[in-house]
Structure 1
Amino acid sequence: MRAIIIGAGKVGFSIAQMLSQEEHDVVVIDRIGERLDTVAEHLDVQVLSGNGASPSVLMEAGAEGAELLAAVTEADELNIVSCLVARSLGVKRTIARVRNPEYVDLDHLTHKEALGIDLIINPERVTAMAIARLAANAEAKNAEYFADGKIQLLELEIKPDTKVAGTALKDLSSPHPFLIVAILRDGKVVIPRGKEKLKLEDKVFILAQTHEMRKIEEIFGQRHKEVENVAILGGGRGGFYLAQQFENAHVHVKIIEKDLARCQFLAERLNHSLVIHGDGADLQLLEDENIGATDLFVALTGDDKLNLLVTLLAKHLGAKKTIAQIRRSDYNPLVEKVGIDRVVSPRKLTAGAILGFVRKGKVISVTLLDDTEAEITEFIVPETYRHRGKALKDIAFPAGAIIGALVRDNKVIVPGGHDIILSGDRVIIFTLPNYSQKIEKFFS
């Protein structure tokens, strides 16, 4: 597949990296030479300097034969126009990164076909939704939902007071079916077998039916904790969307924002949130606002260093759970060492959403897991699946992946060796890095 990426920033780089790893023919367009130099130095893709909305530049990039164009620059208008021009030149599918709330409702106010856009994606809204999912599972390090919410993935840590430490997976018993699809141990991901024993500080990825997950958590020594009050640092787009999510869930929200005009904007548009004008790095302000008593503190400014600093202050004051938005991936290994509970990356969340759209076949979603670079893919098994009717134990399934769950006739199946996969099944698969193409070929 030939793909054109407009914008060589962090999101554009991530998308180009993923597509090139899957051996697609990728062209990256940007006006800034330094960004293109970085892409050319690290990725096996073609780079082109110019305006991504220019018909001549798009023609030079091979728009006539391209199957995909993703416009992910920082300018919404440029992204929208690029998609419109690309579609007129024959590009089959287009994606626009759109951040301005005034444009976000294009799906509802305008026919996307008229603008030549197949997918509109808002990084801040995607990030807010991911944080809301984490907040609903405050005891977990990661939380995702699949199959229209019927199946849940939780990442839990094996702590010293956990009774299952030292237990082999085959010896774990529960009346509620579940599957440990992966273990993160010493920075490496393991797809475990039945003889694998759980160790202290392991992070286990568990798939199960959502309504049974609370009981399964108890096996791993976890107790579900409801988040009742939240403090958000940063009243930008991400903070605004997140506050809306929490208001809808009847959670008490405080927002700390340094810009007075932005505070007025938030106060006018939010219904129940308390908007505080002040510097989040001011320790006295944090103490006066009783940040230490919050169930969740979230740092969502555009400054990674400020997010890290204030999140650490909130943790020091006693905040029960902390989440920091970090755009620079090289900070991630340091986060847990300094005590921050969770990091979210708008770049990865956006790239994952786009990747799910790009993948061939009936792919429903692709979730990128920050800790591991691994993927959870949800898709519908095609009619061409050649192993239908065969038991899983009799199939040479790729070693770098594991089937976590099936949905058939609206029923969830946590599969064992004797289960079979049929065309039309909805399948959730955990895949190690660089194994996605093997899975695609296996089911094709």
Structure 2
Amino acid sequence: MRAIVVGAGDVGYDVARLLSLQRHDVTVVDADPAKVDHVRDTLDVLAVLGSGTSAATLRKAQIEDADLVVAVTDVDEVNVIASMLAERVGKSAHETTTIARVRSDEFTGPHAVLTLADFGIDHIIHPEQSTANEVISLLRRAAATDIVDFCQERVQLVGIRVERDAEVVGMSLIELAQSSPLPFRVMGISRGVRTIVPSGDATIQGGDQVFVLVETGRVAEVARVLGKEAGRLRHVMILGGTSVGARVAAGLAGRSRRDGGMEVKLVEKDRKRAEYLAETLEGVLVIHGDPADIDLLAREGLAETDAVVAVTEDEESNLVSCLMAKHLEVKKTVALLSKSAYIPISQSIGLDAAVSQKLAVSREVLRFLRGAHVRSVATVHGLDAEIMELVADEGAPITRVPLARLRLPKGILLGAVVGDRVEIATGTTHVEPGQRAVVFATPERAGDVEPLFSS
């Protein structure tokens, strides 16, 4: 497949890297010479210097032959225009799929006069909102390090770190399943830098990050099975009034008004931004100050806070703030990170969870790469695998026999089937046409999954 990525910032660079790893022909377009040089020096892709709003630049990138255009610059208007040009100029022998990063509610809000469909954009990516939603889900499930929804939020993949003194340490997965009547499926185990595709005789070790597929609403029960008490977070401090921070605060305050459960403080360094947020965020206490000032945070009650969410634009500051919060025995810390070097070590050095805006974009791009039967694709920190949600065709191989007789290739694991009800998969599970399934696949097997669901 030939793909063009417009924008070579952090998000665009990661998308280009992902597409290149998948062995696609990739061209990156950016108006910044330094970013173009960086792409040329570090990635096995072509790079074109110029604006994504220029038809001449896009033609130089061979837009006429592109199957996919991903516009992810920091400017919404550039992304919209680049997608429009791709739809006009690139629409020759075949359709060009366009994906645009758009952060403004002017296009995506419920009262928008013009929708992105009017501009010929096939799919919208809103990394900030997706990241904020992930943070809110993590705070609602205090024991979880990761939460991903599937099948219209009927099934959840939950990451839980096992304490070294937990009763489940040393148990095999068969023994774990026999010890609890709760239906769940362990989809993967992250142990150090290794990703383990679990079999029944695999054992749980202290420090493992266990990824469990379970019906939505039963996360607290799974946490208890693995030796974690879910608890409830009542006081949250958000460090940074960025777009993500403001959206998290608005989401938590909205839930707080409905269930009467959560107090939210937000610390923002820029006075004008702090004043704006104080006026617009109902039910949130906005504090003007430096989120990296530990003395300020201590005066504002950091030690009595249940959760700290660090979402400033300074990743090092986010890490340090969360580590200080853990030192003061804050129950849960969540940091916004994007550098690939930080994410794998974040939990090993003491953080409870990390979120990344780049992952939101990568998941959407992966969905298009995996085929028509794939409804969503998830990747999570610490797990070198893809978790896909697919729909089965009439006559597809996956529908012909029960799972025990299907003999799925090593590296592919079917976790749940969703139709009229949610069924956690066992050997007797039989996937019916039209049902949705959640499948775990290691990177080398990811391309083998979609044909199982196609006729």
Alignment TM-score > 0.5, same fold? yes
**Structure-2 residue corresponding to 1:112:** 116
Q: Is the 8 A contact 1:30 1:50 kept in 2?
A: yes
Q: Deviations over 1:120-145 (max 9, x none)?
A: 22221111001011111111111122
Tell me the equivalent position of 1:423. 433
**Does structure 1 residue 369 correspond to structure 2 residue 408?**
no
Following superposition, the deviation at residue 182 of structure 1 comes to 0.8
Amino acid at match of 1:381: A
Q: Is the 2:376–2:390 contact (alpha carbons within 8 Å) kept by the matching residues of 1? A: yes
SS in 2 for 1:153: strand
SS at match of 1:74: coil
Instruction: Give the secondary structure class of the aligned counterpart of 2:422.
Output: strand
- Among residues 326, 350, 364, which one is paired with 2:337 in the alignment? 326
CA contact 1:126–1:350 (8 Å) conserved in 2: no
Aligned: 1:209 with 2:237: no
Pairwise CA distance, 1:386: 2.8
Alignment check: 8 A CA contact 1:106 1:112 kept:
no
Contact 1:21 1:434 in 2 (8 A): no
Instruction: Name the residue aligned to 2:142.
Output: 138
> Counterpart of 1:175?
181
Q: Deviations over 1:93-145 (max 9, x none)?
A: 21111224444428843132221212222221111001011111111111122
Instruction: Show CA shifts across 1:223-252 (max 9, x none).
Output: 111221210011121111111110121021
> What secondary structure is seen at the aligned counterpart in 1 of 2:317?
helix
CA displacement at 1:59 relative to structure 2: 2.1
Q: Is the 2:390–2:450 Cα contact (8 Å) retained in structure 1?
A: no
Q: Aligned pair in 2 of structure 1 residues 278, 157: CA closer, same or farther (>3 Å)? A: same
Partner of 2:259: none
Give the corresponding residue for 2:313. Answer: 302
2:68 equivalent to 1:75: no
With the length of structure 2 as denominator, give the TM-score of the two structures: 0.92
Counterpart for residue 36 of structure 1: 36
Distance 1:59 1:145, change over 3 A: same
Q: CA deviation at 1:265?
A: 0.7
Residue in 1 aligned with 2:25? 25
Tell me which moved more, 370-379 or 190-199. Answer: 370-379
Matches within 5 A, 1:14-413: 14-89=14-89, 90=91, 92-105=96-109, 108-172=112-176, 173=178, 174-250=180-256, 251-383=262-394, 385-408=396-419, 410-413=420-423
Distance 1:321 1:194 in 2: 31
Equivalent position amino acid for 1:51 in 2: S
Q: Structure 2 vs 1, CA of residues 75 and 211 (structure 1 numbering), >3 Å: closer, same or farther?
A: closer
SS in 2 for 1:47: strand
CA gap of 1:206–1:10, structure 2 versus 1, over 3 A, is same
Counterpart secondary structure, 2:397 = coil
- 2:11 corresponds in structure 1 to 11
Please report how far the alpha carbon of residue 346 of structure 1 lies from its aligned counterpart in structure 2 after TM superposition.
Answer: 0.9
Number of aligned residue pairs: 443
Tell me how far apart the structure 2 counterparts of residues 158 and 325 of structure 1 sit (CA, whole Å). Answer: 23
Cα distance in structure 2, aligned partners of 1:206 and 1:359: 23
- Give the Å deviation of 1:187: 1.6
The more displaced of 309-318 and 186-195 is 309-318
Q: What residue ranges of structure 2 are gaps of 5+ in the alignment?
A: 257-261
- Shifted more, 154-163 versus 267-276: the winner is 154-163
Change (3 A) 1:249 1:26: same
Aligned pair in 2 of structure 1 residues 291, 299: CA closer, same or farther (>3 Å)? same
Distance, in Å, in 2 between the alignment partners of 1:338 and 1:293 is 22
Please report how far the alpha carbon of residue 196 of structure 1 lies from its aligned counterpart in structure 2 after TM superposition.
1.1
Cα–Cα, structure 1 residues 150 and 181, in superposed 2: closer, same or farther, change >3 Å?
same
Amino acid at match of 1:260: R
Distance change >3 Å, CA 387–CA 342, structure 1 → 2: closer
Structure 2 residue aligned with 1:414: 424
Asked whether the equivalents of residues 144 and 152 of structure 1 are also in contact (C-alpha less than 8 Å), the reply is yes
Q: Pick closer, same or farther for the CA change 1:178–1:191 going to 2, 3 Å.
A: same
Q: 1:14 to 1:434 in 2, by over 3 A?
A: farther
Q: RMSD of the TM alignment (CA)?
A: 1.9
Determine whether 1:443 maps to 2:449.
Answer: no
- Residues in 1 aligned to 2:107 and 2:237: alpha-carbon distance in whole angstroms: 27
Alignment-mate amino acid for residue 209 of structure 1: E
Q: What secondary structure sits across from 2:247 in the alignment? A: helix
* Stretch moving more, 96-105 or 339-348: 96-105
TM-score by length of structure 1 reads 0.94
Question: 1:216 Cα shift?
Answer: 2.9
Amino acid across the alignment from 1:96: A
Establish whether residue 433 from structure 1 lines up as the match of residue 443 from structure 2: yes
Cα drift, residue 206 of structure 1 = 0.7
More moved, 315-324 vs 227-236: 315-324
Alignment CA distance shift 1:340-1:73 (3 Å) = same
Contact 1:124 1:238 survives alignment (8 Å): yes
